[in-house]
């Protein structure tokens, strides 16, 4: 029982974690992943993504038993009917989620037991950009602030280090902070 | 009846749209928005964001009647239990949703009636970056491909123009393609 408790830390199985890391170290081609989403317009600002298939560890995944669906919308002031969080809010969720999971994995690797992790995120946007009313403001957020509150069985400095390490390894933090080449094509 | 059908195009009320644009033109301070998300760790790779309050058009919003919740997870191969789409997949959804809504609004403004809009997105990631196994690959996607299929009552060139204009005005496209300054703070 103690052994199992030692192995599972923060809900992460450290034996499985080190097994995965060793396998990818031994064969770096296993690290190549391709993630996907399919989106369909419903009406107005309402559209919906379906997320299931991905490629990783040398093959198409066959473990996911069902697709996830995510709905998007806009509030009335932005001409929608609130059918879901808006795309910019959803980006904040993706960022929070990735930083949090990175943090939980880093803590597991460093033998820190977490008791609570919470974050609040806020992004500033002048919507004149996206609405086409001004070329002097950008379309997206000018700034994003992320504020973490982390509790666990380690001193505050160590918890802060875990957050810093998570930030330096988070996939979505990297993308949002540094940008990614995006190619858009269209057929009709 | 014909008048109403003319006014509502692609689910967007053009009268409301021009009213909003005119109001923000007249008072640019109404264009200042602040979007937010709160995230809470559940266990392992499972965490959940709550999205409700935002500031915009000169005040805190009071029109949203309920909060949206979004769950994140990871598939087994990435040490989770598939409690939701992973953060990188969620970012693809945010990108698809924003491009699609921009496209629908642009089409409404240009009097193009859309009949269908679908997109598929794919991002390439070498997970050795995020797993801390290599400093030579980045943590996030190296590339994202977005493929739109758009149908409506306009010639293919015009539909392509609408997609291009949407891309040049999408908030999330701007953020993902160009990056945003992100400030992360932590308390314990």
Within A73-178, residue ranges assigned H as helices are 87-109, 156-169, 171-178
The whole-angstrom distance between A113's CA and the closest CA on chain B is 11
Q: Where are the beta strands (DSSP E) in chain A?
A: 8-9, 12-13, 32-43, 46-51, 54-56, 59-60, 68-72, 114-126, 143-152, 182-187
SS (H, E, C) chain B: CHHHHHHEECCEEHHHHHHHHHHHHHCHHHHEEEEEEEEEEEECCEEEEEECCEEECCEECCCCCCCEEEEECCCHHHCCCCCCCCHHHHHHHHHHHHHHHHHHHHHHHCCCCEEEEEEEEEEEEECCCCCCCCCCCCCCCCEEEEEEEEEECCCHHHHHHHHHHHHHHCHHHHHHHHCCCEEEEEEC
Chain A partners within 8 Å of B104 (Cβ): 41, 44-45
pLDDT for position A6: 75
The whole-angstrom distance between B164's CA and the closest CA on chain A is 9
- Across the interface, whether the CB atoms of A182 and B144 are under 8 A apart is answered yes
- Across the interface, whether the CB atoms of B88 and A131 are under 8 A apart is answered no
pLDDT for position A2: 59
Q: Which of A64, A130, A151 sits opposite B169 (nearest CB)?
A: A130
The whole-angstrom distance between B60's CA and the closest CA on chain A is 12
- Across the interface, whether the CB atoms of A49 and B96 are under 8 A apart is answered yes
- Across the interface, whether the CB atoms of A117 and B28 are under 8 A apart is answered no
Chain B partners within 8 Å of A25 (Cβ): 133
Which helix H or strand E contains A20, and what residues bound it?
helix A14-26
- Across the interface, whether the CB atoms of A146 and B70 are under 8 A apart is answered no
Tens digit of pLDDT at every position of chain A (188 positions): 556 667 899 999 989 999 999 999 999 999 999 999 999 999 999 999 999 999 999 999 999 999 999 999 999 999 999 999 999 999 999 999 999 999 999 999 999 999 999 999 999 999 999 999 999 999 999 999 999 999 999 999 999 999 999 999 999 999 999 999 999 999 98
Task: Please give the C-alpha separations between residue A163 and each of A65, A96, A101, A110, B85, in angstroms, as whole numbers.
Answer: 32, 12, 11, 12, 22
pLDDT for position B7: 86
* A57 Ramachandran zone, left/alpha/beta (phi>0; psi -120 to 50): left
- Residue in the block written with tokens 């499972």: B46
- Across the interface, whether the CB atoms of B94 and A91 are under 8 A apart is answered yes
**Considering only alpha carbons, which residue of chain A is nearest residue B170?**
A130
User: Which residue ranges of chain B lie beneath pLDDT 70?
Assistant: 1-5
- Across the interface, whether the CB atoms of A47 and B96 are under 8 A apart is answered yes
* A9 Ramachandran zone, left/alpha/beta (phi>0; psi -120 to 50): beta
Chain B partners within 8 Å of A153 (Cβ): none
Q: What is the pTM of this model?
A: 0.97
């Amino acid at each position: 029982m103690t052994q199992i408790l030692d192995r599972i830390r923060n809900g992460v199985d450290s034996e499985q974690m080190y097994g995965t890391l060793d396998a990818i170290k031994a064969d770096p081609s296993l690290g190549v992943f391709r993630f996907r989403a399919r989106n369909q317009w419903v009406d107005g600002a309402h559209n919906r993504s379906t997320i299931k298939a991905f490629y990783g560890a040398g093959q198409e995944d066959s473990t996911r038993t069902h697709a996830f669906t995510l709905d998007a919308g806009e509030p009335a002031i932005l001409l929608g009917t609130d059918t879901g969080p808006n795309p910019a809010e959803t980006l904040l969720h993706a960022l929070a989620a990735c930083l949090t999971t990175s943090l939980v994995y880093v803590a597991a690797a460093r033998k820190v037991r977490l008791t609570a992790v919470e974050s609040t995120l806020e992004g500033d946007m002048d919507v004149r950009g996206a609405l086409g009313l001004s070329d002097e403001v950008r379309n997206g957020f000018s700034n994003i602030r992320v504020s973490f509150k982390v509790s666990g069985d380690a001193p505050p400095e160590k918890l802060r280090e875990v957050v810093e390490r998570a930030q330096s390894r988070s996939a979505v933090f990297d993308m949002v902070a540094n940008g990614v080449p995006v190619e858009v094509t269209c057929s009709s």
